[in-house]
């Protein structure tokens, strides 16, 4: 059994004037949770469409579990579950009835459907709400029902679009642990398309940063942080008591320091070409300063994301899914979700 579950090779999609996805080479391992990050228009949706076999690549190929996504749409539909950012349920039907409906659409026998719906509602923590109409569900509940819905057909791979958008902190914790379980306990492969960096950082094993159809960075979050450090880019945040000009000037005159900016509360942001923490600590001691904050940036996905963007010459914006039209959303849902 191959370890790679999703593989794209030179995957390209060109529309008339735009190359939406440009020679994408991606490998996502079995059981991995992978985050595809990028602003509006980066090409995430187009990549998803090609993986789901709903649009043909201009060149290159996409394979899931060894099946070519374009040539084997039926196999792909049975292997892959798709969870859109806004799952559409029939509001007048209960959670359980909606799951039954999905099971029937997928040709599952009635008794099996009933049992599976019961177990899945339990798994996503919706047993008590199972017989309430979904029109009354909160967004978090709908999202959890969406996961149960996708699991009805027991997919090996789940592609999720902005799963954490608009969820409150408590709901978020439940959702994150549920998604992790799908990978760790069930061994499913999860691809999350998102711009919510903080949440992605908590869920994903690896991330890919996608800009203008190209993958500009890919790896474990710590790995990406190290890559930036290896290029000689260090950002240090320092807050000292009492602080002051003397300390600031002493830091600015260190050999590898490019710039020192002072922010609110006397917090210094130091840009340097080497790790200067030992020299800074020595200066703090020399000037009898108390360290309130000393943090090397780079391990935080938000920082990594922005700095890769700077490198790619792109504006520093997260972007979101707002750009996706309702038309595309409903197309994806009707074509795939209930397939």
Catalog residues that contact ligand ATP under the rule CB under 6 A. 15, 18, 20, 38, 40-46, 321, 323-324
Distance of closest approach, residue 58 Cβ to ligand ATP, in angstroms: 12
For the chain, list the strands marked E by DSSP. 4-14, 19-29, 33-37, 59-64, 67-68, 80-83, 157-161, 189-194, 206-211, 214-219, 234-241, 257-262, 268-272, 290-297
Distance of closest approach, residue 209 Cβ to ligand ATP, in angstroms: 12
C-beta of 199 vs 321, nearer to ligand ATP: 321
Distance of closest approach, residue 12 Cβ to ligand ATP, in angstroms: 12
Residue in the structure block whose two tokens are 């009933």: 114
Distance of closest approach, residue 49 Cβ to ligand ATP, in angstroms: 8
Task: Please state the three-class secondary structure of 203-261 as a single string.
Answer: HCCEEEEEECCEEEEEECHHHHHHHHHHCCCEEEEEEEECCCHHHHHHHHCCCCEEEEE
C-beta of 102 vs 321, nearer to ligand ATP: 321
C-beta of 19 vs 294, nearer to ligand ATP: 19
C-beta of 58 vs 237, nearer to ligand ATP: 58
Residues 102/149, Cβ–Cβ less than 8 Å = yes
Distance of closest approach, residue 207 Cβ to ligand ATP, in angstroms: 14
C-beta of 24 vs 257, nearer to ligand ATP: 24
Query: Which residue, among 88, 84, 49, has the nearest Cα to 162 in the 3D structure?
Result: 84
């Amino acid at each position: 059994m191959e370890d790679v579950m999703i593989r794209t090779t030179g995957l390209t999609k060109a529309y008339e004037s735009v190359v939406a996805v440009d020679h994408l080479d991606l490998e996502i391992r079995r059981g991995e949770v992978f985050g595809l990050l990028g602003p509006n228009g980066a090409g995430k949706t187009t990549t998803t469409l090609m993986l789901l076999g709903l649009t043909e690549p201009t060149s290159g190929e996409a394979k899931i579990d060894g099946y070519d996504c374009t040539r084997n749409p039926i196999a792909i539909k049975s292997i892959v579950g798709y969870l859109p950012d806004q799952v559409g349920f029939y509001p007048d039907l209960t959670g359980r009835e909606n799951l039954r409906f999905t099971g029937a659409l997928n040709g599952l026998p009635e008794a099996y459907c009933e049992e599976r719906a019961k177990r899945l509602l339990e798994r996503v923590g919706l047993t008590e709400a199972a017989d309430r109409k979904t029109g009354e569900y909160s967004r978090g509940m709908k999202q959890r029902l969406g996961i149960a819905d996708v699991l009805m057909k027991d997919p090996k791979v789940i592609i999720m679009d902005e799963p954490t958008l608009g969820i409150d902190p408590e709901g978020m914790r439940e959702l994150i642990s549920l998604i992790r379980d799908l990978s760790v306990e069930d061994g499913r492969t999860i691809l999350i398309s998102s711009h919510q960096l903080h949440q992605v950082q908590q869920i994903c094993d690896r991330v890919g940063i996608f800009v203008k159809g190209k993958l500009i960075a890919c790896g474990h979050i710590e790995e990406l942080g190290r890559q930036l450090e290896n290029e000689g880019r260090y950002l240090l945040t320092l807050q000292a008591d009492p602080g002051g000009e003397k300390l600031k000037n002493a830091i600015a005159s260190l050999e590898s320091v490019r710039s020192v900016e002072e922010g609110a509360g006397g917090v210094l942001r130091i840009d340097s070409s080497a790790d200067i923490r030992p020299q800074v600590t020595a200066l703090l001691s020399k000037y009898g300063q108390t360290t309130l904050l000393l943090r090397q940036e780079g391990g935080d996905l938000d920082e990594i994301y922005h700095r890769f963007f700077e490198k790619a010459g792109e504006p520093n914006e997260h972007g979101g899914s707002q750009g996706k039209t309702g038309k595309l959303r409903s197309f994806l849902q009707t074509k795939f979700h209930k397939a």
